[in-house]
Chains A and B, each alone.
Chain A
Amino acid sequence: MIQLENVTKTYPKASRPSLDDVSVGIEKGEFVFFIGPSGSGKSTIIKLLLHEVAPTRGKVVVNTKDVTTLRSWKVPHFRRSIGCVFQDFRLLPNRTAYENVAFALEVIGKTKAVARRVVPEVLELVGLGGKEHRYPHELSGGEQQRVAVARAFVNRPLILLADEPTGNLDPDTSIEIMRLLDRINRTGTTVVMVTHDSNIVNQMRRRVIEIESGRIVRDQARGVYG
């Protein structure tokens, strides 16, 4: 599903590469944690998978597509197969939970009728049934992140990328979000999560890839934070 082959990424003006000759493969349906200290290069992996940045060297293959050679006008369509959740939720403040999710559908050309059918379903799935018409500022942090997860998942992507999704949440709320991601993973969606929340990693017991200074130092099935 995801294949990094000898990927090196050096940002302009950086003294050393963020990722240094990284090779890793992730199968369909896997749940993978990327862990490591700040600045270790783990967020760069998310950016590479989204084609927000291009690798300096090496090859990135997502869903059998070579992202490195993807033409820029094909990027939008490519991104529709990837859902994405961030630490800061990235919701539109002037839209309700329902509208935030529906917006994601409408801007990729789905009709309002489709949105009316699918959005309540996915909001129910993330546990926000009954709160569809609340605005983000009327929701707690955990609930806002659920909206973000609903928005990422409403299009039934093959891959869900999560960049420190629990970074702004308290431990109990974090666990709830993890249960949600776990449930999404059980539908067959590949989940890639970047985090430095050791509690979560230790509880989940999933594959852990540890990065330090741009290199993979550990790749362990059913691992702990260590």
Chain B
Amino acid sequence: MRLKYVLNEVLVGLWRNVTMTVAMIITMSVSLFMLGASVLLYMQVDQMKNYYYGAIEVSIFLRTDVTDAQRSAIDQAISSNPLVSDKTYETRAEAFTRFQQLWADSPDFVKSVGPDSLPESFRVKLKDPEKYKAFADQIAGMPGIQDVIDQRTLLDKVFNIFNGLQVGSLGVAGFMAIAALLLVGNTIQVAAYSKRREVAVMKLVGASNWFIQAPFVLEAVVAGVIGSVIGFIVLFVGKIVLLDHKLQALTTILTPVHNGNVWLMLPLLAGVGGVVSAVTAWVTLRFYLKV
């Protein structure tokens, strides 16, 4: 009986004030969508770091006028260095072939580069990619070396962009969340006002506080959960449309976004939406109902 009563009150409450309910659900869904996108980006960057840092190499480009003696000295130094786990050597011809494959889509660009314009190089894998600095310091001063480049620094630039996007969407999520919370508070106040007679009688006859508050709190929770489901659907559709179709080319650079991770957002968003709405409603009631 009591459950039925509470559920009925919730539905009536949401319907009585339907424009406010819709506004509450929309802001909630946008906010939670941004939160979901932010969390997904964070997971994505994490996953990409694991993936790329494992395959990362330090490139040691040699000068064009390097002598055979210098080359073998460098080779020797790399092989005997305890930080190194693996090493390959790439001749100019090999570098040029790889270059041609890489830019096969732009034949004009390939034509403008001669087979001798690319330097020969050693590709070195470190046991611990974090130790790049120590390795570079030991090797960089040797004669015949043009440049030592850590792919990590290149990747970090990409990751910085992702991090920026992530922080940005988190910021938007927070901003929208403020609007959503104010709407929840306002909706609850309106609901409490329209039921002030019932509330007064309930207090008079000694209805317990939770019984008076539960319909209001649940009203907010239902709106929050509906908002989170909509936010989740937008997130999922956005992932399919953007990453799986429109920007598919990018996914060769980005590691694939697993659907499993996207599904994980549903309980997360629903949880955050529900709990935040409930707390807001409860705090509002404490000020407004004074039970």
Contacts and interface: CB of A to CB of B under 8 A. Distances in A.
B252 to A, nearest CB: 61
Contacts of A90: 197, 200-201, 204
B200 A76 contact: no
Nearest to B202: A107
A167 to B, nearest CB: 18
A80 B202 CA distance: 10
Nearest to A100: B201
Contacts of B202: 107
Which of under 10, 10 to 19, 20 to 34, or 35 or more describes the interface residues of B? 10 to 19
Given A106-B1, A106-B5, A112-B1, A77 B206 contact: yes
Contact of B1 (A79, A108, A111): A111
Given A90-B200, A92-B198, A104 B209 contact: no
A77 B203 CA distance: 10
Contacts of A77: 206, 208
A151 B209 contact: no
Interface string A73-90: 101111110101000001
A103 interface: yes
A130 interface: no
Contacts of B198: 92, 103
B158 interface: no
A155 interface: yes
A76 B5 CA distance: 19
B204 A79 contact: yes
B206 A79 contact: yes
Interface string B206-235: 111101100000000000000000000000
Contacts of A76: 203, 206-209, 291
Nearest to B5: A106
Interface string B3-22: 00100000000000000000
Given A80-B206, A107-B205, A92 B1 contact: no
Contacts of B206: 75-80, 82, 108
B2 A84 contact: no
Contacts of A78: 206
A67 to B, nearest CB: 14
A93 B198 CA distance: 10
Contact of B205 (A93, A108, A111, A112): A108
Q: Which residue of B202, B204, B208, B211 has the most chain A CB atoms within 10 A of its CB atom?
A: B204
B1 A103 contact: no
Interface in B1-60: 1-2, 5
A79 B209 contact: no
Contacts of B207: 76, 107-108
Q: Which residue of A80, A84, A107 has the most chain B CB atoms within 10 A of its CB atom?
A: A107
A25 interface: no
B204 to A, nearest CB: 6
B1 A104 contact: no
Given A92-B197, A92-B198, A104 B2 contact: no
Interface of A: 73, 75-80, 82, 84, 90, 92-93, 103-104, 106-109, 111-112, 151, 155
The 9 A-B residue pairs whose C-beta atoms are closest, nearest first, are A79-B206, A80-B206, A107-B207, A104-B205, A76-B206, A76-B208, A107-B202, A111-B1, A108-B207
Given A107-B202, A108-B206, 4 more contacts: A80-B205, A104-B201, A106-B5, A107-B207
